[in-house]
């Protein structure tokens, strides 16, 4: 049982030299996917709706470097059991076992918590991206590209900085709210018009921007029925 997380040297699991199948790594989260995992998605062994996307430019924790940095490419990850964080959704806590062990992703095959050299070597290479999978479901590539352009995390970061520090804070709030509304409505319209399984949305468009404000030291607040954005305290 493995995980996306490259365990740190002080992990309790790093003693010994073989897998004790304790499940600690799977508890920490699901793996990110690489090109060699594409066939698992295309064959349906791992359903695409079980993934979420960290979009290019989105602030993401780099497990190897130990810092939060903008993602250089899409990072596709297996969802957690409760949404997009936490224990890998393919981990069976009762049996302390991987439900897809025979076709677990490459990171899970490579990770040995007592020696993280192999996972560090592959960690940011040959990432699988949405573009590698977007023939399934068909016809959605244009929507994804349009969303990526209009909801670019570089723009979100720029607006967040202006909200926190700029003299034109109110204009920046309006601009960021427009991005958040677009992100929200595109998800709704996509499900309504294409009858798409809503569980695919976090793969297609990443997690809703409205849920990511803490990454930018901001928070959404509703005052007298009006949603606005404030600096997080």
Q: Which residues of the shown chain bind ligand SF4 in the complex (CB under 6 A)? A: 1-3, 13, 19-26, 30-31, 78, 88, 90-91, 98, 100, 104, 108, 111-113
Q: How far is CA 46 from the centre of its chain?
A: 16
Alpha helices for 67-168 (secondary structure H): 106-110, 117-122, 141-150, 153-165
Strand partners, 24: none
Q: Angle CA(108)–CA(114)–CA(117) in degrees, nearest 5? A: 70
Nearer to ligand SF4, 39 or 188 (CB): 39
* CB 18 to ligand SF4: min, Å: 8
Based on CB atoms, which residue is closest to ligand SF4, 22 or 171?
Answer: 22
Task: Give me the least distance between CB of 122 and ligand SF4, in Å please.
Answer: 14
Look at the block and give the residue holding tokens 């590698």: 132
Measured CA to CA in angstroms, residue 155 lies from 107, 163, 176, 180, 216 at distances of 31, 12, 9, 12, 12
Toward ligand SF4, which CB reaches closer, 108 or 186? 108
Give min distance, CB of 135 to ligand SF4, in A: 24
- We find the least distance from the C-beta atom of residue 136 to ligand SF4, in angstroms, to be 20
Question: In the complex, what is the shortest distance from the CB of residue 231 to ligand SF4, in angstroms, rounded to a whole number?
Answer: 36
Specify the residue, 19 or 196, whose C-beta has the smaller distance to ligand SF4: 19
Q: Give the residue with the Cβ less far from ligand SF4, 2 or 163.
A: 2
Secondary structure E strands in 44-181: 51-54, 59-62, 67-70, 75-78, 80-82, 85-88, 91-92, 97-98
Beta carbon of residue 198, minimum distance to ligand SF4 (angstroms, whole number) = 23
Residue closer to ligand SF4 by CB (options 24, 63) is 24
24 versus 56: smaller Cβ distance to ligand SF4: 24
CB-count exposure of residue 183 (10 Å: 0-12, 13-18, 19+): buried
Helix (H) / strand (E) containing 177: helix 169-194
First to last CA, the chain: 38
Nearest approach in angstroms of CB 164 to ligand SF4 is: 36
Tokens 């409505």 locate to 185
Neighbours of 18 (CB within 10 A): 7
């Amino acid at each position: 049982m493995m995980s996306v997380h490259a365990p740190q040297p002080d992990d309790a699991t790093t003693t010994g030299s073989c897998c004790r199948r304790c499940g600690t790594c799977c508890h920490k989260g699901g793996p990110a996917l690489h090109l060699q995992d594409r066939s698992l998605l295309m064959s349906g062994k791992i359903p695409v709706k079980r993934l979420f996307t960290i979009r290019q430019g989105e602030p993401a924790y780099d497990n190897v470097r130990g810092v939060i940095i903008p993602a250089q490419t899409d990072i596709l990850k297996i969802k957690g059991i409760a949404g997009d964080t936490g224990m890998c959704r393919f981990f069976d806590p009762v049996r302390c076992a991987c439900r897809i062990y025979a076709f677990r992703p490459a990171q899970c095959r490579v990770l040995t918590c007592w020696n993280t050299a192999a996972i560090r070597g592959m960690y940011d290479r040959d990432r699988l991206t949405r573009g590698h999978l977007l023939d399934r479901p068909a016809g959605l590539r244009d929507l994804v590209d349009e969303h990526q352009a209009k909801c670019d995390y570089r723009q979100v970061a720029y607006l967040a900085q202006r909200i926190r520090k700029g003299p034109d804070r109110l204009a920046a709030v309006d601009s960021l709210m427009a991005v958040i509304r677009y992100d929200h409505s595109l998800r709704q319209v996509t499900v309504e018009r294409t009858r798409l399984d809503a569980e695919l949305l976090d793969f297609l468009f990443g997690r809703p921007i409205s849920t990511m404000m803490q990454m930018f030291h901001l928070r959404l607040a509703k005052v007298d029925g009006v949603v606005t954005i404030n600096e997080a305290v």
